[in-house]
Structure formats: structure tokens, C-alpha cells
Amino acid sequence: MAAENPTELELLILKVLWEQSPLTARQIREVLAGRGRKLAHTSVITMLQRMVDKGQLDQLDPDVGKAYRFTPVLGEADVSGKMLGDLIERVFDGSAEAVMQSLFDVSDLDDESLKRLRRAFNQKMKEKKNA
């Protein structure tokens, strides 16, 4: 995995490729534009090459024509876990409890969301007891 967390734009590109890959730079640019992030084609190519250099993407040889296709090296769960871990360390001094309290304070959770969280919490408690 890359040593640093993806930048905002890198994360947007990864999200596109997690949904569907491999894609060409043009296809990635079109999806980003559809999501309100319009970029010059050369900017997308430069960013994709940087991401390949960082080990975030693989560049695949073209099947037909001359367009390279890109696919993510980093998994969504790995990236989100690392980014969340970094946030917990930097902002909450490593306290998962402080994170949970903050989430409850700033989130408007409906009854179903609270039930799902309670089930997840209870499952984690069972796992701890059985470990």
C-alpha cells in the first residue's frame, strides 16, 4: 500500500475505479465531470501517472487503440481503514470512544441506524468475550 493517504482528487479517482475498472483516462474524466469535477484531459493523465508512480493504480496496456486503462491497486477497505485510523490518531489521540461520542454528537441518526449500530456493538462485545 502507498505510504501516504490519497489526496482528495486521488480518492475521487479511486472511487470511480472501485465502482468500475479498468477505465481509460477519458472515461475517468467523463465520470468525474458527471459528478461535478471537470478537469482538463491532460490534468487527468498527469494525476493518473502520479497515482501509478505512487503505487495506487496499475496501468494496463491498451487492448485496442492507444489508450491505456487503469485499475486500482489499493482496496477500498484498506484505504478507508488507513484513513480512519490516521484520523483517530491525529484528531482523537487514538481514542475510539472519543470518535464514537463525536459521531453521536454531530450525526443525526434515525432509529434504524441506531439499531444497526447497537447490533454491531453487541457483536463486537460477544467477539471480545469469546477471544
> Which CATH code for domain 8-74?
1.10.10.10
Write out pLDDT tens, residues 67-124: 899 999 999 999 999 999 998 999 999 888 888 888 888 888 888 988 998 898 899 8
Task: Say how many CA atoms lie within 13 Å of 13 toward its Cβ.
Answer: 34
Kindly report the pTM of this predicted structure: 0.78
Q: Which of 27-36, 79-88, 120-129 has the highest mean pLDDT?
A: 27-36
Confidence tier at 42 by pLDDT (50, 70, 90): very high
Q: Where are the alpha helices (DSSP H) in the chain?
A: 8-19, 25-34, 41-53, 76-92, 96-106, 111-130
Domain boundaries, the chain: 8-74, 77-130
